[in-house]
Chains A and B, each alone.
Chain A
Amino acid sequence: MAKNQMHEELRERIEQGGAEKYHQKNADKGKMFVRERLRMLFDEDLDIEDAFFANCMDGSLPADGVVTGIGIVNGQTVCVMANDSTVKAGSWGKRTVEKIIRIQETAMKLEVPMLYLVDSAGARITDQIEMFPNRRGAGRIFYNQVKMSGRVPQICLLFGPSAAGGAYIPAFCDIVVMVDGNASMYLGSPRMAEKVIGEKVTLEEMGGARMHCSVSGVGDVLVSSEQEAIEYAQKYLTYFPENFRSKPPVLDAIQPEAFEKSISDLIPENQNAPFDMLELIKRLIDKDSFCEIKREFAKEIITGLARINGQAVGIIANQPRMKGGVLFHDSADKAAKFIQLCDAFNIPLVFLADIPGFMIGTKVERAGIIRHGAKMISAMSEASVPKISVVVRKAYGAGLYAMAGPAFEPDVTIAFPTAQIAVMGPEAAVNAVYANKIAELPEEERPAFIKEKHEEYKENIDIYRLASEMVIDDIVQPDDLRDHLNKRLEAYQSKNLTFTERKHGVYPV
């Protein structure tokens, strides 16, 4: 009886986490207790918890600061680790690390998604010999993540700091959701930065959620509350199978949102004028099915998961409203990771091209635009899922290649009747070919000459001519695109391709 009572008391104490003052401190910042987060995440609650009694002989470290176990999200079994920041700021001791490693091993054995709910100050320096350098030290967590990548979905919800080595947990996940104001990632704290390199900077500026989701691109989704982060993860998971062996679940088909303007109304006649590609996407996909990734980062390309007639797809679309839809180093990098994500989990890809090309100039050359562009083209080439390329308005230069042009084995290349495919646009081409001739002409004759050459050039790259040469496979009216995509996606379902046999490519990262 005494033993039973002791057991119940201990259980209760562990369940409560750290001291009351830390709970209060978290609540003041809009942070939920780790067990509340888990209750909100799962359909019911965490079903199975492992090593609940970890470090229970030390009364001050309930569960050793991390909850690990198995639960159900949208009917799907997932494994989870969740830091408890009321216990020594969620820092990692020997048992914390071992618990994380074990739940990763479980996720690998069961081949189910792994969720990381991160809110941790990093290593417990006092425990470093036990948790840092060993075979089963913290390094093993990252090693496991790399091994799991592409086998099972790995999702990181960042509720608080993710410091130093700990910052690599998000880095190795497929997706990182960050809560604005609370979440942060950094290798060295502002205090350390000031001491070691003499830089004075705030945490928010250096490693805050907004910075990472809009500037560095290490974060993928910026949310304003923990609840929003959890809801995002729940929605995100609906697009994914449990592992790379299966196909994504098919949901009930839903009609697209109704709008006054149709797709053809959206597209300006002037090739060079901006329009909002997001509006076009909304008209193609099932209502409310868009789950955008990296919305705040490299906005000249849109990447997101969606559904067409219930079937999950990954959309990669140039955004002419932002930087003219030109591809930059960051946008190529963003697209490369998204393509790999979809390909790993059997999600078909739809490319919507409206691209004047890759950016040129000193700034981007110094930023390595060539290797970043090559990275996107590698990922796109290797993708063996159904791959549909749609030329919405234009695909010029290497932009055509990056957006799954005909040479890259898309299952089909479709174009709208007004689309243009060329090495470069008419203005640039006429200038390149006739610059000397134009300079020789009397000024009053130049406009007429240029116009004539423009027209000639446009005829030369006319989309019906390209269809006649079978460069493109079909010309589709904008307002028929959804139906057309739906039929194609259904037809390509059984595609089962191995890109090539080898150990792995040497990637232009």
Chain B
Amino acid sequence: MKEVVANMAGNVWKVVVNEGDQVDSGQDVVILESMKMEIPIAAEAAGSVKELKVNEGDFVNEGDVIAIIE
């Protein structure tokens, strides 16, 4: 089990995977919007998306868990 974590504070702009999806290491899971920039947050390990912890529009702080990859 591997957590996908926000690397900076911002709003969740787009969630680009669904629960149950297979993702590769390096594949984007969500895109944050912060400092007026698109900030892609990628999975650090391959696996299936067990749980998405955020919805579009949510504020996340640096270090918050966005998703869990199994």
Contact = CB atoms under 8 A, between A and B. Distances in A.
Contacts of B61: 363
B15 interface: no
Given A363-B61, A363-B62, A273 B9 contact: no
A23 interface: no
10 contacts: A273-B38, A274-B38, A274-B39, A324-B34, A324-B37, A325-B37, A356-B36, A359-B35, A360-B35, A427-B36
A363 B7 CA distance: 12
Interface residues of B, number: 12
A308 to B, nearest CB: 29
Contacts of A323: 7-8, 34, 39
Among B9, B36, B39, B40, chain A packs the most CB atoms within 10 A around the CB of: B36
A341 B8 CA distance: 28
A129 B62 CA distance: 48
A348 interface: no
Nearest to A273: B38
A201 interface: no
Contact of A357 (B8, B35, B38): B35
B40 A425 contact: no
Nearest to B7: A323
Interface string A244-278: 00000000000000000000000000001110000
A320 interface: yes
A320 B36 CA distance: 12
Nearest to B28: A274
B37 A359 contact: no
Given A274-B39, A363-B61, 8 more contacts: A321-B40, A322-B7, A323-B8, A323-B34, A325-B37, A356-B37, A357-B35, A425-B36
Contacts of A328: 8
A319 to B, nearest CB: 12
A361 interface: yes
Interface in A7-51: none
Interface string A303-318: 0000000000000000
Interface string B4-24: 000111000000000000000
Interface string A352-391: 0000110111010000000000000000000000000000
A399 B29 CA distance: 28
